[in-house]
Amino acid sequence: MNRRTLAAAGSGALLVAVAAAVWLGRPATPDAEPAAVTVPVQRTTLTSELRLSGRLGHGPLTPVGDTTGTVTGLPRVGDVVRVGARVYEVDGRPVVLLRGKRPFWRELSTGSATGPDVRQLEQNLADLGFGGGFDVDERFTPATARAVRAWQRSIGAEPTGRVRPGDVVTVDAGDIRIARVDARLGGVDAAAPVSYTATAVRVTATLTPAQARELAAGTAVEVVLPDGTRVASTIAAIDPGGEPTGTDGETTPATATVDLPDQKAVADIGLPAVQVRVAKAERARALVVPVTALLATADGGYAVEVVRDGVVERIPVEVGLVADARAEVSTAASGDGPEPLREGDAVVIAS
């Protein structure tokens, strides 16, 4: 009889077989053969998981800014820039981070034509605490100009009441993390002087095309850190990939982005590889044995051997969920055979 180690155990495949109606009893004596290696049958929750390899990181780099003048101040890589704070400096003037979906393309001041860029500026002023005297709309009023001057004084800029395109940079996000600095102090008319990422650490896991079709944003996952810490999270986005990389016809792989709500758990561990686990099936209060306890029977079914009162009994079993090298098993009572498998029974495993 061959003891079958199930190749599908790691993949979480479901294996169901009809139990063989064969029972043998033999003494478990040292004189007959070496003592059997046994483990107890457990009653527990068995979960089948998809396991993905991922890496911690801050997400893709995005270049930002466009200077006209001499660069007189730059951030450092790793700096976190808050909305309303200086990103870099040109001709001694701070260039400030604002939130928005569109860049500022014209000077805004009293008398400017109405437009969504005015609304975007006023919304930023209101969010930064300078919006008490105006309504957030598409009109640049004297009250807007007073709020701009108050804001400019707070950041050490000349209080002109006007906002020029070169005074600010906009990102469709909140605070940013400086990931690369391409300009140099004293440089003139630098395009995209800095590049940024998100401030939060997240996980990017590479997917197969089939996994990219199966998984979706919002799916609950568990991220396992190198020290074994488990962090509950969800998939934030699925990128199907397939975009040209510009290298010999290669395309980008499919990926899953996983946000980490508990940033303290990853604050000081660098950016190592991690594992992402996605639960696919679960059995509560299942009778569970190691897959190395399963015997393949002649009729294609399975059995286990149990040591009871010094005697080895072979019990036919049906196999359910298989995961993590463990198998869910069930047995039925038989009038002329052994008693059904029970929690705590000592099953023989391959040694």
Closest by CA to 189, choosing from 100, 90, 115, 260, is 90
pLDDT of res. 24? 37
Cβ proximity of 56 and 19 under 8 Å: no
Tell me the C-alpha distance between 315 and 293, whole Å. 11
Q: How many residues does the chain have?
A: 351
Q: Which phi-psi region, left, alpha or beta, contains residue 219 (left: φ > 0; alpha: ψ -120 to 50)?
A: beta
> What is the pLDDT at residue 3?
52
CA distance 176 to 170: 11
What is 7-48+281-348's CATH number?
Answer: 2.40.420.20
What is the CA 288 to chain-centroid distance, rounded? 30
Q: What does each of the 351 residues of the chain score in pLDDT, given as a tens digit?
A: 455 444 333 433 333 333 333 333 444 444 555 678 999 999 999 988 899 999 999 988 999 998 889 999 999 999 999 999 999 999 999 999 999 999 999 999 999 999 999 999 999 999 999 988 899 999 999 999 999 999 999 999 999 999 999 999 999 988 999 999 999 999 998 889 999 999 999 999 999 998 999 899 999 999 999 999 999 999 999 999 988 888 888 899 999 999 999 899 898 888 889 999 998 888 999 999 999 999 999 998 999 999 999 999 999 999 999 988 999 999 876 667 788 999 999 999 987
CB 189 within 8 A of CB 247: no
Spell out a b/e string for 137-154, using b for 16 or more CB atoms within 10 Å of the CB, else e.
Answer: eeebbebbbbbbbbbbee
Task: For residues 249 and 254, give the distance between their C-alpha atoms in angstroms, rounded to a whole number.
Answer: 16
The string of DSSP codes covering 128-150 is TT--TTS-SSS---HHHHHHHHH
* Burial readout 176-187 (b: 16 or more C-beta within 10 A, e: otherwise): bbbbeeebeeeb
Question: What pLDDT does 31 receive?
Answer: 52
CB 131 within 8 A of CB 115: no
Q: Furthest-apart CA pair in the chain: how many Å?
A: 104
Domain 62-197 indexed as CATH 3.10.450.40: no
**What does 281-308 look like in DSSP terms, one character per residue?**
EEEEEEEEEEGGG-EE-TTS-EEEEEEE
Instruction: Give the integer Cα–Cα distance in Å for 332 and 341.
Output: 8
- What are 158's two structure tokens? 């000349």
Cβ proximity of 331 and 315 under 8 Å:
yes
> Is residue 322 a contact partner of residue 9, using CB atoms and an 8 Å limit?
yes
**Full-model pTM:** 0.65
Cα 328 to Cα 312: distance, rounded to the nearest angstrom? 21
Q: What are the boundaries of each domain within the chain? A: 7-48+281-348, 51-58+200-280, 62-197
51-58+200-280 and 62-197 in the same fold: no
Q: Which CATH architecture has domain 51-58+200-280?
A: Beta Barrel (2.40)
